Amino acid sequence: MAEPRETGPSGRAQDGEFARIAAILAGLPPGEGVVVGPGDDAAVLRPREGRDIVATTDTFVEGRHFRRDLLTPIEAGVRLAAASLSDLAAMAAEPRWALLSLVAPASWSGADCESLERACARALFDEGAAVVGGNLSSGDGPLVASVTLLGDVERGRAWTRSGARPGDLLVVTGCPGSAAAFIAAALWGNPPSRARAPRELDARVVSPPCRVRFARALAASGGVHAAIDVSDGLAADLAHLCVAGGVGARVEEAALPVDPPLAAAVRAITGLAGQERGPLPAGEGALITRLQLGASDDYELLFALEPAQWEECARVAAQTGTPVARIGAVTDGDALVLASRGGGEGPLDAPGWDHFRDRG
């Protein structure tokens, strides 16, 4: 239980929890289906008939999920929103409401905390989710920011991780590995600096594109048997999808998407900065594959698609401005195989991001 604490003689009510919540939401219109919004003991929300509720929660810990020397408070807030929106995209759900929580240490000014929360609230709002409640605490230690995001989806139509079938195409959106490449480039020298990451990559990583509209449109056309968001890393998230479906996968190394910003980041990391754009020299292959498959929180989608639906998927992708790539296929059994550029085959094995693996 909380220890009683008195208010100082200054009585700065404007610094109080209620005033701060109001400041975070200033300028944002109330959401749809909000019967009681922030400021009561709980929010009251009116679900739409014929829909299931989809709920996810994400937490960002300073120094762990973001570095303050690499991201501004606004950017951290935007990425936190992206993390939770990505979970809803992976369920083909529509974002509706959110609750934001912050544990703010003294090392963060009130203005910086507010910037983070406001940016998060705005990014959620832009995708259809209104902030309807939350929590503000002080605390020693790193800043901890959390979002619980609620959405909805046509009853019984949510995508899940399970359901992939042998023969399905494996499709990813965007360019997984981008977040890892950004971090690698930024940490390449001392002090860390994101100026070493290519500018287009920087823009994509600090403000990840939202895949909700793509997922909603693709869900309407059908053919997705299983989906997951790429937040641990492509190999780790593919492993989750295969375990959930009781299937294996074969990924073609040459089919993993590399766009110019990711290629430029690899050049920056390997000291090839300044060279003209073009195919990467062969020696860069190992590094780029490691970035593409390894731990990287890209907030892209990975899904198993009925092969006959590929053209429709490509149409939806074009319509929504979403890069998509077929990277392999679902297989019988449980093996995860990487077919390398050179023609050989080997186990697909790159560690994901598991917070407790290293703890005793």
Residue with tokens 């570095």, as numbered in its chain: 67
CA pair distance 189, 170, nearest whole angstrom: 36
Which lies closer to a second copy via its Cβ, residue 46 or residue 277?
46
Three-state secondary structure call for residue 32: coil
Which lies closer to a second copy via its Cβ, residue 50 or residue 343?
50
What minimum distance in Å lies between the beta carbon of 148 and a second copy? 4
Residue 143 to residues 1, 23, 87, 358, Cα–Cα distance (Å): 21, 19, 22, 22
What minimum distance in Å lies between the beta carbon of 43 and a second copy? 5
CA pair distance 172, 233, nearest whole angstrom: 12
Which lies closer to a second copy via its Cβ, residue 36 or residue 318?
36
Residue 217 to residues 168, 280, 294, 323, 346, Cα–Cα distance (Å): 19, 34, 29, 14, 35
Tokens in use for 342?
């050179």
What minimum distance in Å lies between the beta carbon of 4 and a second copy? 4
Radius of gyration from C-alpha coordinates of the chain? 22
Q: Taking a C-beta distance cutoff of 8 angstroms, is the pair 354, 267 a contact?
A: no
Which lies closer to a second copy via its Cβ, residue 277 or residue 359?
359
CA pair distance 282, 255, nearest whole angstrom: 15
The closest of 330, 309, 354 to 162, measured between CA atoms, is 330
The closest of 73, 93, 208, 97 to 145, measured between CA atoms, is 73
What minimum distance in Å lies between the beta carbon of 333 and a second copy? 20
What minimum distance in Å lies between the beta carbon of 329 and a second copy? 22
What minimum distance in Å lies between the beta carbon of 343 and a second copy? 27
Which lies closer to a second copy via its Cβ, residue 43 or residue 171?
43
Strands 248-252, 169-173: pairing kind? unpaired
Which lies closer to a second copy via its Cβ, residue 310 or residue 353?
353
Which lies closer to a second copy via its Cβ, residue 144 or residue 265?
144
Residue with tokens 């195919």, as numbered in its chain: 279
What minimum distance in Å lies between the beta carbon of 345 and a second copy? 22
Say how many C-beta atoms besides its own lie within 10 A of residue 320's C-beta: 18
- DSSP, residue by residue, 1-12: -PPP-PPPTT--
CA pair distance 116, 118, nearest whole angstrom: 6
What minimum distance in Å lies between the beta carbon of 17 and a second copy? 5
Which lies closer to a second copy via its Cβ, residue 155 or residue 318?
155
What minimum distance in Å lies between the beta carbon of 142 and a second copy? 5
Q: CA angle at residue 187 from 62 to 272, to 5 degrees?
A: 150
All residues at 6 or more sequence positions from 358 whose CB lies less than 8 Å from its CB, including other chains = none
Say how many C-beta atoms besides its own lie within 10 A of residue 1's C-beta: 3
Which lies closer to a second copy via its Cβ, residue 253 or residue 297?
297
What minimum distance in Å lies between the beta carbon of 266 and a second copy? 14
Which lies closer to a second copy via its Cβ, residue 153 or residue 338?
153
